Amino acid sequence: RRDADEFAIAEEEARLAAEAEAADAAAGSGATSRLPEVLRVHVKGRRKGEPSRTVTVRIDASGCAQPRYLGGFRDRRDGTVYHHASNQTIPTKPRVWKTKFTTETQTMQGRSRQAQTKAEASTQMARKDLVMDESKDVLVWTGKYMTHAEIMEIKERHTVTLQKYVRGMRARRLANVLRVRRDDAVKRAEEDEIKRAE
């Protein structure tokens, strides 16, 4: 109850302050004297090389009036008067986002679903009222339908075959390197024996 009373008092003070400002502004210089009667606007040419020109604009400020007070408050920090929620000013301080390092933000829940779909197929049939060109048609027959397990079995068999060839190639390379080392060692040993015999 006390907060509501304080808010009502603050709102009434803000309303009175806004009315006093409006009365001071009207008594001091008048609403129409704030704006100049004539403005000179420089307009650039539309095309390249076209000269700019000066346009005179007359201002009719007779319909200008102080905005109606709709409630609000005055900010004590900088004196800004907030008239109503419909015409609030944009906050000047940008909002700072903090990076969160938590398990909730770093964990993604994934789901895995399997689906066994049929192979795509289409048919094309001639009609009485439709002439179709059949000169470039190709007859295609479907093969045996294979399940996922059968396809994986074939892939595994091909993978094992590739592994065999790769391991054989590596073994032959290693055997060639070892054979060259052995032949060099035998040749050096024979040369050493010949040098000792001399």
Tell whether the model's pLDDT for residue 67 goes beyond 90. no
Tell whether the model's pLDDT for residue 60 goes beyond 70. yes
Reading phi first (left if > 0) and then psi (alpha if -120 to 50, else beta), residue 49 is in left
79 vs 28, higher pLDDT: 79
Tell whether the model's pLDDT for residue 86 goes beyond 70. no
Q: Identify whether the C-beta of residue 72 lies closer than 8 Å to the C-beta of residue 83.
A: yes
In this prediction, residues 90-101 reach a mean pLDDT of 68
- Which pLDDT tens digit goes with each residue over 130-182? 777 888 888 888 888 899 999 999 999 999 999 999 999 999 999 999 999 99
- Which pLDDT tens digit goes with each residue over 114-138? 766 666 655 666 778 877 788 888 8
31 contacts: CB under 8 Å, gap ≥ 6: 25, 61, 64, 65, 66
What pTM, to 2 d.p., does this model score?
0.29
